[in-house]
Amino acid sequence: MKPLSTWGSSRNPVKFRIPTSDNLLPIRLDIEIDGQRFRDAFTWNPSDPDSEVVVFAKRTVKDLKLPPAFVTQIAQSIQSQLTEFRSYEGQDMYTGERVVPIKLDLRVNHTLIKDQFLWDLNNFESDPEEFARTFCKDMGIEDPEVGPAIAIAIREQLYEIAVQSVASAKESRMIKKGRKGFEHIPISKAGGIAVDLVKSFGNKSSVIRKRKEWDVFEPIVDLLSNEEVDALEATEERNAR
């Protein structure tokens, strides 16, 4: 039974990477200098030369008219995230099948989104950007910043899960226990426990969810008023400090 190349094999370990069709790394920036705060999130291609980091930082500062002190901070932040990503490269991620829940809980400008769904870690053709596009189209979201934010949120969770998998794969090797088909990972704030595949997909169960569960998996999109946005932002800032 030869599996497709786009799916990870259920036998061989998978090398670390973001399990999507583009191996793009989510980068998040949150820098404050002299009372000015700069927050941003985007995807970065780790195969770009590192010289691009500084170029990007300079361009960002110039476009947003930030004080020049931001250039080095931005560049450093990006670089360190990149380096961390690269430190995992080459290591084994997981063996066996992994379907994990992904949760969305984000606010982009006036749009508030809550959602959850399943994601197959072995599906290397998966595309968070496409998911985000479909999401925005189906829900009629017009703010163009929402889509990318959703995609990045998904990527971040996948990244975190992948990192955890590397750690736990190491552990299992050290413990030298026999591997089963399905491993479980420690509970994280992002991914939760991987889905019990036998229970969900085995022959005794239906892949149709019970009606009462539909609400849980249905996306919620709220448009906030200005006051609500302000209130939320204030709360977030307070929490961040």
Partner 1 sequence: MAMEASNVKPPVSAIEEAHLDLYTIPSYSSWFQWGNIHEIERISLREFFDGSSITRTPRIYKEYRDFIICKYREEPSGRLTFTELRKSLVGDVSTLHKVFTFLEKWGIINFSGTVSAEPAEVQQRHKKEVRVEEGAPYGVRVVAAPNSLKPVAPLPPPVDVGGGGGGELAENGSKFPPLASYSDIYGELLQQQQQGKEGKELVLCGSCKQQCDSGHYEHTKDEFLLLCKKCFGNGDYGSKSAHDFKYVDDTNQVVWTEAETLLLLESVLKHGDDWELVAQNVKTKSKLDCISKLLQLPFGDLMLGSALRKTKVWDRNAGQAVPAHSVQDTVTGDDQQHEHKNQGQQNANVEDPGPPHKRLCTVPNLDASSSLMKQVGRLSSVVGPPVTACAADAAVAELCYENRCSREIFDDDNFGDELGYSARTDEEERVLPVENSEGEKGPTVSGASEHRGNGANISKECCTINFANASCNCNFSWCCSCSCKVIGCSGRERN
Of 54, 82, 99, 229, the residue at the interface with partner 1 (CB under 8 A) is: 99
Residue pair 50/82 in contact by the 8 Å Cβ criterion: yes
Q: How far is the CB of 238 from partner 1 (least distance, A)?
A: 33
Residues 7-46 that bind partner 1 (CB under 8 A): 7, 10
- Look up residue 227 and give its amino acid: E
Task: Give the residue, chosen from 31, 79, 117, 229, that forms a contact with partner 1 under the rule CB under 8 A.
Answer: 117
- Give the number of other Cβ atoms within 10 Å of residue 123's Cβ: 17
- Residues 93, 135, 152, 158: which binds partner 1 (CB under 8 A)? 135
- 153 is a site residue for partner 1 (CB under 8 A): no
Q: Confirm or reject binding of residue 122 to partner 1 (CB under 8 A).
A: yes
Please report, to the nearest 10 degrees, the dihedral formed by the alpha carbons of residues 16, 21, 24, 26 taken in order: -90
Quick one: which of 89, 218, 230, 233 contacts partner 1 (CB under 8 A)? 218
In whole angstroms, what is the distance from residue 112 CA to residue 237 CA?
A: 17
Q: Does 94 bind partner 1 (CB under 8 A)?
A: no
Beta 25-33 vs 36-44: how paired, if at all? antiparallel
58, 164 contact by CB (below 8 A): no
What single-letter amino acid sits at 117? F
The residues binding partner 1 (CB under 8 A) are: 1-4, 6-7, 10, 97, 99, 117-120, 122-123, 125-127, 130-131, 134-140, 142, 195, 197-198, 200-203, 206-209, 211, 214-219
